[in-house]
Amino acid sequence: MNLKETKTRFLLMTVMILLFFLIIIFRLASLMIAEGETHREYAENRIVKSLPINAPRGEIRDRYGRLLAGNRPSFSVEISKNEMIDDSINEISAELTRIFNANDDQYIDDFPIIMTEHGHIFEFDQKIEQWKEDYDIPPRYNAKETFDFLRIRYEIDESDPIDVQQRLLAIPELTVPISIRTWKFTEEMRKEQWFDQMRIPDDLERASEVFEWLRNEKFLIPKNYSDHRARDIMAIREQIETQLPGFMQYQPIKVAQDISSASVSLIEEMSYELPGVNIVVEPVRTYPNKSAAAHILGNLGKISDQSEIEYYINEKGYLPSDIIGKTGIEHKFESQLKGKDGSQRVMVDSRGRLVRVLEKEEATPGDTIQLTIDMEFQKRVEEILEDVLKTIQTGGTYQTPWGTNDLVSRQGPRKNATSGSVVVTDVKTGEILAMANYPAYDPNLFVTGISNDDWEKVMPENPRDPLAPRPLLNIAMSTAVQPGSTYKMLTGLAAIDNGLSPNYRILDRGYIQVGEHSFGNWLWNQSRQTMGYQNLYEAIADSNNYYFYSIANAYDYSRNRPLPYNMDVETLIEYAHMFGLNDATGIEIERPREQRGGVPNPESKLRMTKAVLRNHLNRLLTEEDFEPELIESNSETISEAIEFLVDMAEVNPPRYEVYQYVREVGIKESRANAITDLVKYSYYNQANWSIADTMNFSIGQGSHAYTPLQMTNYMAMVANGGTRNPLTVVKNSSSRDESEAIPLNNPDNLLHIHRGMYEATVSGGARRYFQDFPIKVAAKTGTAQREGKIPPIDEVEYLLENLRRFNVDKSSVIEETERLMDENRDQHQYQDKGYAMRRAIRNLNPSLTNRDLDEYKEDYDNFSWFTGFAPYEDPEIAISVLIFQGGAGGYGAPVFREVVAEYMGLNVENKNDNHMLNSFMTR
């Protein structure tokens, strides 16, 4: 190749390369100059986002498929922090909260500093204080002291903290927000965690200091905002700061749920001014029947307790903003109802509007849970219970096609009969057909977080009164009381199953004398009359205490001779256990905890007596009661003395020996006689089981404690011939395979119990409620004794109103009260002004006793039970009715009757065709 050709080729290549670069330069110039604005706008207005898709929560339906808990679409507001300019976060947060407030929409506000008229306080501290106030715990007690205080109050013998905690957690309506691992209140731990999350300096402790530091140093909120507006901003900022770790800042944060269309419109209109703010449509829980079956369904709530944080967030991967089931079916089946969230990658413009979906993983809805209840039947049961309660309160007449009854006693209306429960079960399967509690609440209030105003509405008006109406209380599961005469059938069954003839007649002589105690039949106690000779059927029908006292001890007191069979308290306990009265019923609901373990026995009585004695001596004995040299030589003298005296309750030695023991443990001679008499006569003599205890046991009084669920299950076993089915509220439950036959000597003996219960409705105490009723039923009334006085809402106010009756001067009482509180700051009782004032009045008038101070308080009335089954000839359902302060068992009879009428389809002519098709009778 010659030189000329080489130069030509080189020139050609050079031209081509220059041309190539000219083309690139021209195209770049075109993109950057001519089309630059267009592409810049496109790039700025096209953002790729990854968005979660919340899974719809699984539905809950009744036995016929009716919706009990479902979902509806709602608007939520989310913030994507990575799309916001840091300098604009405060302005955006302020504008959002302004919109929410203007339209009365709630936004998520977990910011734990509250502004009050007295200044700033931490919500963590407020919750601890409120909890202590609710349970009457001294304000100054730390977590460990509070735990020990509760152990003593509830007379728990165990010393191991884990065992004590388990015993405390078994007490319905008692929450124990204490970690035994750290000996801190759970709210203390949450406070420490929040301080760490917000990186608050260690030298800041007061709420006002932390508030100012967050406002001025961390969030840099301008001075022109008021503290209230600044707090609104911090509520949003706190959500952004704490909900997600730094490496997940691209995930949107939910700041408001279920907002109004007015707020949606404003936020959409201001989308340019609110970058990073998005409106999303997501499912929210709805309960179409409102309060119906609320205690079965349960409610939802935020993840709040430390145990919930550890389980749901740390173990299950829930987000801190997720809503979970807190009680009832919603809690028990949380994992099935939750579903699986999906996600999608989308392209949106600068205003957050969807351009296109790039990829999408659909959410998987939660499973549907089908219950055993019939919602229409459930509603009617609730209505019947409410109607009867309101009639009892006014002393009115309850009238239906099946009976007219005046629900008023000689004492007048029972105005405090404000709460009750009804449970209806299928005796053949154990399925719960209805479980009604009154009052109830609307679980819709909890779906996105309950407001303070709504929370106050579901709280008792008088928190000091344990029987005050509590809408959140699941009475059917959590309230265990004496069964009264409804227990007598079990005593009768135990006797005839061990050899007593049901036709054996015992002469009612009115009362039985056992030592210093007299045990009378109710008719004798009321009017000094007797019932003559009675057999089992008549005794059940007339509720004859004398008869059941006799057969429980296998002794005919009227003839002063033994009965021809063996029977003692162990036999009675065995039959109570057979019929499930000491066990949980099997219902799937775990929260609230089901009450159990209510059958009394000699061991529990001794254990309880020892625990009460220990607590009494711990409060009573001080170093001043002991010989000085013993205290100096052994710091454990007092505790060792107390344990020795407590253990002697098992022996119950004669008084002179007790006195010797009291002196031997080091108690001064001047105090020995008083301590001896206390432990001997108030405790040792009562510690061991006696015939008197068996008497009370036989008629359902004493220490028995059973729930409406347990009583209904017991009735079902009586009705179905002795088969024990676990109760279930979930259709197709596996618990059905756990049915077992009760090991009776002769199951046919239950037919004698049936007959006695039937006689109670045609000739006995309940006859007036069923004389016009076309269905034969078997039932029994019961009255559970409730002694004591109703504590007023304000003890101090009550005392001040009655000072004249106590013969003391107001100014002197106030002065003495203040002195006692000041001088006894180390004693928790005196931090309660009511307690201190009671002591002050008694100091000023030593003749007064505590009973005198309570004289003008209102008396509690008795619990009213009515339980049985229907129809009599071929039982299908068992029913238990419990009415708080109903006074007499008969007042539950109209509820029982109307529930049976509804179940049997007696009212279908007044219903529509759909209801008729679903009625039990037509099926």
Look at residue 922 and give its three-state secondary structure.
Answer: coil
Does residue 158 register a pLDDT over 90?
Answer: no
Q: What is the pLDDT of residue 432?
A: 97
Residue 784 has phi, psi (to 5 degrees) of -100, 120
Structure tokens at 37: 């604005």
Query: What does the pLDDT look like over 673-721, one tens digit per residue?
Result: 999 999 999 999 989 999 999 999 999 998 899 999 999 999 999 999 9
Cα gap 915→923, rounded to integer Å: 11
* Cα 147 from chain centre: 20
Residues 6+ apart with CB under 8 A from 207: 113, 114, 119, 120, 121, 122, 125
Residue 667 has phi, psi (to 5 degrees) of -75, 135
- What is the pLDDT averaged over residues 818-827? 83
Q: What is the pLDDT of residue 18?
A: 78
Of 39 and 24, which is predicted with more confidence? 24
| Confidence band of 841 (pLDDT split at 50, 70, 90) | very high
Cα gap 749→787, rounded to integer Å: 36
Least confident of 187-191, 324-328, 891-895, 914-918: 914-918
Query: What does the pLDDT look like over 716-768, one tens digit per residue?
Result: 999 999 999 999 999 987 666 678 999 999 999 999 999 999 999 999 989 99
Q: What angle do the packed helices 227-243 and 186-197 form, to 10 degrees?
A: 90
| Confidence band of 585 (pLDDT split at 50, 70, 90) | very high
pTM for the model: 0.86
Query: What does the pLDDT look like over 352-398, one tens digit per residue?
Result: 555 677 777 888 999 999 999 999 999 999 999 999 999 999 999 99
Residue 794 DSSP code: -
- What is the pLDDT averaged over residues 300-305? 86
Does residue 31 register a pLDDT over 70?
Answer: no
Closest CA to 805 of 853, 844, 843: 853
Look at residue 243 and give its three-state secondary structure.
Answer: helix
Q: What is the pLDDT of residue 563?
A: 95
Q: What is the mean pLDDT of the chain?
A: 88
Q: Is 821 left (phi over 0), alpha (psi -120 to 50) or beta?
A: alpha
3-state secondary structure 500-525: CCCCCCEEECCEEEECCEEEECHHHH
Q: Side-chain half-sphere of 788: how many Cα atoms within 13 Å? A: 10
Q: What is the pLDDT of residue 40?
A: 53
Percent of residues, the chain, with pLDDT higher than 70: 91
- What is the pLDDT averaged over residues 445-464? 86
Of 302 and 436, which is predicted with more confidence? 436
Residue 857 DSSP code: S
Does residue 914 register a pLDDT over 60?
Answer: no
| Confidence band of 883 (pLDDT split at 50, 70, 90) | very high
Hey, which of 256-270, 317-331, 847-861, 864-878 has the most confident mean pLDDT?
Answer: 864-878
Percent of residues, the chain, with pLDDT higher than 90: 60
Q: What is the pLDDT of residue 280?
A: 87
Q: What is the pLDDT of residue 247?
A: 41
Cis, peptide link before residue 139, omega less than 30° from 0: no
- What is the pLDDT averaged over residues 606-614? 88
Least confident of 154-158, 254-258, 300-304: 154-158
CB 877 within 8 A of CB 432: no
Cα gap 188→194, rounded to integer Å: 10
Does residue 919 register a pLDDT over 90?
Answer: no
Does residue 296 register a pLDDT over 90?
Answer: yes
Residues 6+ apart with CB under 8 A from 759: 537, 538, 540, 541
Q: What is the pLDDT of residue 253?
A: 85
> Hey, how many other C-beta atoms are within 10 angstroms of the C-beta on 546?
26
Residue type, 309: I
DSSP labels, 552-570: HTTEETTTTEE-SS---HH
Cα gap 535→531, rounded to integer Å: 11
Torsion of CA 727, 729, 734, 736, to 10 degrees: 40
- What is the pLDDT averaged over residues 391-418? 92
Buried/exposed code over 428-455 (b: 16+ C-beta within 10 A; e: otherwise): bbbbbbbbbbbbbbbbbbbbbbbeeeee
- What is the pLDDT averaged over residues 248-268? 84
Query: What does the pLDDT look like over 3-17, one tens digit per residue?
Result: 666 667 777 777 777
Q: What is the pLDDT of residue 684?
A: 93
Cα gap 511→520, rounded to integer Å: 4
- What is the pLDDT averaged over residues 191-208? 91
- What is the pLDDT averaged over residues 234-256? 75
Q: What is the pLDDT of residue 805?
A: 94
Longest dimension (CA), the chain: 149
Q: What is the pLDDT of residue 633?
A: 66
| Confidence band of 627 (pLDDT split at 50, 70, 90) | confident
| Confidence band of 915 (pLDDT split at 50, 70, 90) | very low
Structure tokens at 429: 């399967």
Structure tokens at 125: 């501290």
Residue 564 has phi, psi (to 5 degrees) of -80, 50
Which element (helix H / strand E) includes 833? helix 833-844
CB 652 within 8 A of CB 688: yes
> Hey, how many other C-beta atoms are within 10 angstroms of the C-beta on 5?
9
- What is the pLDDT averaged over residues 914-920? 40
> In this structure, is the dihedral angle defined by the CA atoms of residues 127, 128, 132 and 138, taken in order, positive or negative?
negative
Q: What is the pLDDT of residue 894?
A: 97
Cis, peptide link before residue 871, omega less than 30° from 0: yes
Least confident of 152-156, 891-895, 898-902: 152-156
Cα gap 610→225, rounded to integer Å: 62
Residue type, 557: Y
> Hey, how many other C-beta atoms are within 10 angstroms of the C-beta on 112?
21
Q: What is the pLDDT of residue 917?
A: 32
Query: What does the pLDDT look like over 312-326, one tens digit per residue?
Result: 988 888 887 788 999
Residues 6+ apart with CB under 8 A from 382: 291, 292, 436, 438, 440
